[in-house]
Amino acid sequence: MSKTKTKPVLEVRNLSTCFKTDQGVVTAIDDVSFDLYPGETLGIVGESGCGKTVTSKSIMRLLPEHLSFQKPESRVMYGGLNLAAATEAEMRTVRGDKIAMIFQEPMTSLNPVFKIGAQLEEALSYHTDLDRKARRQRAIDMLRQVEMPEPERRVDEYPHQLSGGMRQRVMIAMALCCEPEVLIADEPTTALDVTIQAQILDLMEGLKNKFNTAIMLITHDLGVVAQICDRVMVMYAGRVIEVASVRDLFHNPQHPYTQALLRSIPKSGGRQKGERLPTIKGIVPSLFNLPPGCRFQDRCEYREERCVRDEPLLEQHGNRSYRCHLPLGGAQ
């Protein structure tokens, strides 16, 4: 892949985030490492509790400080700055400006008592030195850029007057107002209908091409991943278990979990009546009670004795990596 030649915009190394809970300290994400290149869309997939949201919030340092901490070896390198060790003041220059984030629920991410124009202008006043009039014009431009119908009118409306899709457009406009290098999108379309989801994904795709933004797309929907991502990182119980290009991953998964996950989605088109879906037995283990060895071993159909004994490492194989003693192999 040509991507490997360019320098990554974000390098995450050994990122581990722990939470202090009543039952003791729990490691929500354990030793997560990956690179994000300019102009690519990296999909992060996994089931609930696998740590995909914690990863994004750890990068942005948005987790409550009194309840969580990052292990000292964690490094999140952005333009020579280690975000994992940066001061709050340094983080403020990065957040929103260089790395922006959009969330799942656009209703709760917008302040309901301010007009959307005012909220956009506020974001602009933080990160730019435009005057009032220019800010307003810029806000309208931003709304037009995210294909909001009638931006001149919408800029003076309140969040509750907009539909879910339009609110997500406002969130994207806000995230993009400083042309960030990295956009972290945490389940941006989960709360939306499919036709609206298509609109938003299309919009993100277009903006990525226009600004060469690197997008980290967190989702549980493998269909979305297949359609718009370049590379995919699969997480399971706090671990990265496989990273590969989207083609390699869908056509030739190496980790049994990835394979099982792909198989358990109903296929479109090729339906046989009464056909049962392949499933993964059991449930995701609790982070407090992880099985010995590989975290997936108790649900894995290929398990061997050494899977129970040693946890495999995330190893690089060509331009993909996976964490398995018994990779599925097949045409590489």
Q: Which residues bind another protein (CB under 8 A)?
A: 21-23, 47-48, 67, 149, 163, 165-166, 193-199, 201-202, 220-224, 226-229, 246-247, 250-251, 260-262, 264-269, 271, 273-280, 283-284
Cβ distance to another protein smaller for residue 125 or 279: 279
**Smallest gap from residue 37 Cβ to another protein (A):** 18
Closest distance between another protein and the C-beta of residue 97, in Å?
Answer: 30
Looking at the Cβ atoms of 33 and 227, the one nearer to another protein is: 227
Cβ 227 to another protein shortest distance, Å: 4
Phi-psi region for residue 222, left (φ > 0), alpha (ψ -120 to 50) or beta? Answer: alpha
Tell me how far, at minimum, the Cβ of 205 lies from another protein, in Å.
8
Nearer to another protein, 160 or 247 (CB): 247
The least CB distance from residue 77 to another protein, in Å, is 29
Neighbours of 144 (CB within 10 A): 16
Round to whole Å and give the CA distance between 49 and 76. 22
Q: Please spell the DSSP secondary structure of 187-214, one letter per residue.
A: STTTTS-HHHHHHHHHHHHHHHHHHT-E
Instruction: Determine which helix (DSSP H) or strand (DSSP E) holds 20, and give its type and residue range.
Output: strand 10-21
- Strand, helix or coil for residue 122: helix
For another protein, give the closer residue by CB, 125 or 161: 161
| Cα separations in angstroms, 33 against 30, 208, 227 | 9, 23, 24
Nearer to another protein, 135 or 299 (CB): 299
3-state class of 142 per DSSP?
Answer: helix
